Amino acid sequence: MRVRSAPLLVALTFLASLIGLAVSSSPAVAILPICDIAIVEVPLGDTLLLTEDCETNHTIVVPDGKTLDGNGHSIFAVDPISGDFSGAVVRNDTTTPTGVIHVTNLTITGQLSIDQCDGGADRLRGILFSGAGGTVTNTHLFDIRQGTASGCQEGNAIEVRNFFPDEPLSSSSRISVTVSDNEVRNYQKTGILVNGNVEAVVARNLLVGDGPIDFIAQNGVQIGFGATALVSANSISGNNYTPTSFFACGIIVVDADGVDRKQQDNLFPPNTDPMANEKDTCGFAKGGNYEPFGN
């Protein structure tokens, strides 16, 4: 069992000692440090190193030009004392447009119980690149969601977006991002989302949705709204919305600017599998061939 603080345990231990009760010396809880302390900057380098497992109730910002190296450790996202967790767990610097960051060797686990729908920058994400390029590699994202059955249209595990000039600090040029070799499970809405003026490689990722559910239409990978991408060698399952009003997709392309997402180049369960996607691939408006480096 992991708790965020232990004042009650300390108080009970002190009270028990006053009245002569035996108190076990065995550790009952593990208290994690806050991530602001556990993340240190490597001297004379461009790396922020996570030195131990930690928890955070607010966004961790990676400055331009830096790499957040999880060093095999975990970040646990928890609700603040008042209100719900707001925004991304990890994101690029909001003061530097057209930056480049990298996130690697990191596990992010959501432990969020408050189901409150947010909009704009306050929408829940695991890792967010907004107007910034770079890489997301060898990460593991679990339970990027609010509660267990939220219908809020947020909770994207990995999101890359660039909408100039509509969003502050977005880039006027196409940004380039590689999202590869990641594991994403139990996301609320989308496993990997790439929208806007972005060129992306989405490869060798494992994405697992909830399976048949009736409260939100999940998608494994979405490429949309002007983005161009190569989507290849991914394993995608468990995206299945049981009502007939909408449907869930393994890979969905919406008004993109050229996407190579051939079904035979990605791995989907057979239709008889309980974790089969409702639809393996879906396309709306533009699709076509992937064009490296945009148009």
Per-residue model confidence (pLDDT) at position 246: 85
User: 264 and 178: one domain?
Assistant: yes
Is 23 inside any structural domain? Answer: yes
Per-residue model confidence (pLDDT) at position 164: 87
Please give the average pLDDT of every successive group of 10 residues along the chain, which has 295 residues.
41 38 46 94 93 97 96 97 95 82 98 94 96 97 96 97 87 93 98 97 97 96 95 97 90 92 91 95 58 33
Two structure tokens written together for 185 = 């499970």
Distinct helix (H) and strand (E) counts, the chain: 2, 24
User: 114 and 71: one domain?
Assistant: yes
User: 27 and 160: one domain?
Assistant: no
User: 20 and 109: one domain?
Assistant: no
Per-residue model confidence (pLDDT) at position 98: 67
Is 202 inside any structural domain? Answer: yes
User: 40 and 53: one domain?
Assistant: yes
User: 38 and 22: one domain?
Assistant: no
The DSSP string of 232-276 is ES-EEEEEEE-SSSS--EEEEEES-S-EE--GGGSB---TTSTT-
Is 168 inside any structural domain? Answer: yes
User: 22 and 97: one domain?
Assistant: no
Per-residue model confidence (pLDDT) at position 244: 83
Per-residue model confidence (pLDDT) at position 221: 97
- Structural domain including 27 reads 1-31
User: 55 and 88: one domain?
Assistant: yes
In the chain, the N- to C-terminal Cα span, in Å, equals: 52
Per-residue model confidence (pLDDT) at position 97: 64
CA angle 277, 88, 204 (to 5 degrees): 40
Is 291 inside any structural domain? Answer: no
d(CA 89, CA 70): 13
Per-residue model confidence (pLDDT) at position 94: 77
Nearest to 26 by CA among 52, 1, 51: 1
User: 186 and 274: one domain?
Assistant: yes
Q: Count structural domains, the chain.
A: 2
Is 293 inside any structural domain? Answer: no
By three-state DSSP, how is residue 20 classified?
coil
Is 42 inside any structural domain? Answer: yes
Is 289 inside any structural domain? Answer: no
Per-residue model confidence (pLDDT) at position 284: 61
User: 69 and 104: one domain?
Assistant: yes
Is 290 inside any structural domain? Answer: no
User: 1 and 109: one domain?
Assistant: no
Predicted TM-score (pTM) of this structure: 0.87
User: 9 and 99: one domain?
Assistant: no
Q: Say how far residue 189 (Cα) sits from the centre of its chain.
A: 10
